[in-house]
Structure 1
Amino acid sequence: MYESFFGLTERPFNLLPDPDFLYLSSQHKLARAYLEYGLTQKLGFVVLTGEIGTGKTTLIKSLLKARAGKQRLGVLYQTSFGAEDLLELLLREFEIKGQFHSRAARLSAFNEFLIKAYGRGEHVVLIVDEAHNLGAAALEELRLLSNIQADKEPLLQVILVGQPNLRDRLRQPALRQLAQRVGVHFHLQPLDKEETKEYIRYRLARAGGSGIFTPSALDKIYDGTHGVPRRINAWCDLALVAAFAEGRQEIDREFLETVVAAQGESLEGAEGGPEPDRQPASRPELLENIDGSEPAAGEVIGAGSGEFTDIHLRKEILELSERLARLEGLVLDLVGQLIPAFTKFFAHLPSEPAKPVLPPQPSLPPENQEVAGQVSGLQGDEISPASKKSWWSRLLR
């Protein structure tokens, strides 16, 4: 609409995520480095959080575009589903064909897909956008689906993208095992004042333009948007439309204030709105503790600046935990195999012990039966020496 008037090749402030217009602030560069590390090292779960409009989706799309051909990608944008629906959605997203009438059949088909993809050298990555909307059961189901491994590497890698309350969700006791599987977690902050100005200049230049917004207008944009990229785009786009309508080649602070006042509450981020929590741009928040406590902004637990010691430690802990889980599974399988055998063995045993079978006693001649009767009558009783002499004498006649 206004592109030709300002000498632009395209709209520089589109509200839809566009990786070609990604402005890499110091935070975005750091976030991208950690996310790429998580992908290349196949660390299992990667988590990216941030306020609405801070550029999470644009950053992820840019990273995946740069890694095109290196992974088999699936994306879930709608997260209003339960754990029972997750497998079916994954089968559709990864185009796994077939008739699956039970959860066991769907799970078997998905595991077979992962194994075949691994055999072809494909890295399967699932991106879950708006992951803060997922319930605990659905998140736990994702963890279980990512358990299948080969050569100590997960065959399914999951990137969870969501708003800050996703961090709170992962701290729940029911999701402790999932939290321990997170290899990288980066929280994206809004832009600071200088980054906001550079962001606007960068996007204008990317579309073939320059200038247009005066320094005072740039200050006003930061004051009203608090450095949130999506809000910046909304302000700048509407200002360009209004300037085009009035034939203005330059947008100053006064004109911008008029545009904002005319839009009222419909312009997200207008003055009076809450300012998002923001840590200094040079120290972005990274890698929360498993126990729920948060490190200082930019702190990598157990490591110096720029090191990945904590990530390696967590990876080793994860591998040990998974090895223990596999051993427990083997023990349970062995017990499960032995129980039927023992049951079958004991089923053939009589319920009461059998009485011993005594050999037949030889019959006595008639003349000795009287003596035998006397002996039988004496069983269990104390026999006196005189009695012994009497019946032994008779027996030996």
Structure 2
Amino acid sequence: MYLAHFGLRESPFGLTPNPAFFYTGNTRGDILQALLYAVSHGEGIIKVTGEVGAGKTMLCRMLEQQLPANVDVIYLVNPNLDAEQVQYAIAAELGLAGHGLRIDEIQRAMQAYLIARHSRGRQVLLLVEEAQAMPLATLEAIRLLTNLETAQRKLLQIVLFGQPELDQHLALNSMRQLRERITHSFEVPALPAGLLDEFLRCRLQAAGHDGTPLFDAKAIALIGRASEGIIRRINILADKALLAAYADDAATVQARHARQAIAEAGFRRTPRARPRWQAVVWGGAGLLLIWAISSALLAARGNL
């Protein structure tokens, strides 16, 4: 409704992850580059965690879009599968007919198929979303898939995307074998208030805006506090605030429009139950890889 009023080509704050609106700030671009590196060179499981609405699915879509041409991607989007069902589901994603086959026959079929792919120079990547909702036995079945390998390389690379509860599951003693297969861990952070203006401008520009400020400083501050830096909340509040400004026939989003949006959204504060030490322990390897890749990119730019 407000697109023409603000000179926009499309909605800037849609909730469907659209790679055209990917924001590289707040380490997101660095995490993406680190994921690409880890997929290309890693031999274990990669883990990406973040709060609900932090932007994990967008990272997943960006990763798929930028993978090398020799990488074939399969998805596991239903976490509510038991340990056997998940293997049939993955076989189906690979295009294998599993009806009537025993689980051991499915496993052999998957290994033969992946070996054939590997012999043709192909790499298979399994992207698992909502991994925190998986039964522990299903997570263990996912780990066992990493046993499919040649003498030189794993036949199936796995990336787990999940909410912080995934780390709580992995901290259990019964999950130590899966925990030790994770070679890289990344945490998608909340957006700091100081970057909110840049984020809004990035989304607006991608939607065709000419670059003049649409949100005043007070509106941005209100949206930042109410959203707690959660990307999905920011998008919802920004969209509602633009609609309120349009209904007010205003040229910019002001504090009163942001307050209307916040009142309508009715967000509650996000509980922070996870101990901070756990985030540091799980994120250490991922932060190190992000730092190394960021340093390499900066050095490359300096040599141009």
The alignment's TM-score, normalised by the length of structure 2, stands at: 0.87
- How many positions carry a matched residue from both structures? 291
Q: State the 1:215 CA deviation.
A: 1.3
1:155 maps to 2:155: yes
Alignment equivalent of 1:306, drawn from 291, 294, 298: 291
Unpaired segments of 5 or more residues in structure 1?
Answer: 280-284, 309-397
SS at match of 1:202: helix
Q: CA deviation at 1:142?
A: 1.0
Do the aligned partners of 1:43 and 1:182 also contact (CA within 8 Å) in 2? no
- 1:254 alignment partner, one of 231, 253, 256: 256
Q: 2:37 matched to 1:32?
A: no
Aligned residues of 1:190 and 1:276 also touching (Cα < 8 A)? no
SS in structure 2 at match of 1:36: helix
* Residue in structure 2 matched with residue 175 of structure 1 by the alignment: 175
Q: Which moved more, 1:116-125 or 1:66-75?
A: 66-75
Contact 2:98 2:106 in 1 (8 A): no
Q: What corresponds to 2:227 in structure 1? A: 225
Compared CA separation, residues 273 and 18, structure 1 to 2 (3 A): same
SS at match of 2:53: coil
Distance 1:168 1:56 in 2: 18
Structure having greater relative contact order (Cα 8 Å, sep ≥ 6): 2
Separation of aligned partners in 2, 1:46 and 1:170:
13
Measured after TM superposition, the shift of residue 118 of structure 1 is 0.6
How far does the alpha carbon of each residue in 1:66-100 deviate from its partner, in whole angstroms, 9 at most, with x for none? Answer: 11523111111110111020111112222213544
- Equivalent residue runs for 1:195-210 within 5 Å: 195-209=195-209, 210=211
Map 1:11-50 to 2 at 5 A: 11-50=11-50
Give the residue type in structure 2 aligned to 1:219.
A
Identity, in percent, stands at 29
Give the match for residue 216 of structure 1.
Answer: 218
- SS of the equivalent of 1:4 reads coil
Offset, 1:300: 4.7
- Distance apart, 1:241 and its partner CA: 2.0
Q: CA RMSD in A?
A: 2.7
Q: State how far apart, in whole Å, the 2-side matches of 1:268 and 1:118 are.
A: 51
- Does the CA contact (< 8 Å) of 2:45 and 2:159 recur in 1? yes
Provide the residue aligned with 2:299 in structure 1.
none
Is the aligned partner of 1:101 residue 2:101?
Answer: yes
Corresponding position of 2:238: 236
- Cα distance in 1 between the residues matched to 2:243 and 2:36: 38
> Which is further off, 53-62 or 92-101?
92-101
Partner of 1:65: 65
Return closer, same or farther for 1:169/1:277 CA change in 2, 3 Å cut-off: closer
Q: In 2 relative to 1, CA 277–249 (structure 1 residues): closer, same or farther, beyond 3 Å? A: farther
Q: Which has the larger radius of gyration?
A: 1
Deviations 1:137-181 (Å, cap 9, x if unpaired)?
Answer: 111111112201124211001100000010111121222111111
8 Å Cα contact 1:100-1:106 kept in structure 2: no
Q: How does 1:317-356 map to 2 (within 5 A)?
A: none
3-state SS, counterpart of residue 183 of structure 2: strand
Amino acid at match of 1:274: T
TM-score normalised to structure 1 length: 0.68
Residue by residue over 1:347-366, the C-alpha shift from the partner in whole angstroms, topping out at 9 and shown as x without a partner, is: xxxxxxxxxxxxxxxxxxxx
- The whole-number CA distance in structure 1 between the counterparts of 2:279 and 2:252 is 45
- Give every structure 1 segment of 4 or more consecutive aligned residues whose post-TM-superposition deviation is greater than 6 Å: none
Within 2, Cα distance between the matches of 1:276 and 1:68?
37
Unaligned runs of 5+ in 2: 294-304
1:292-321 alpha-carbon deviations (Å, 9 max, x no partner): x664797459x799359xxxxxxxxxxxxx
Mapped to 1, the partners of 2:105 and 2:73 lie a distance apart of: 22
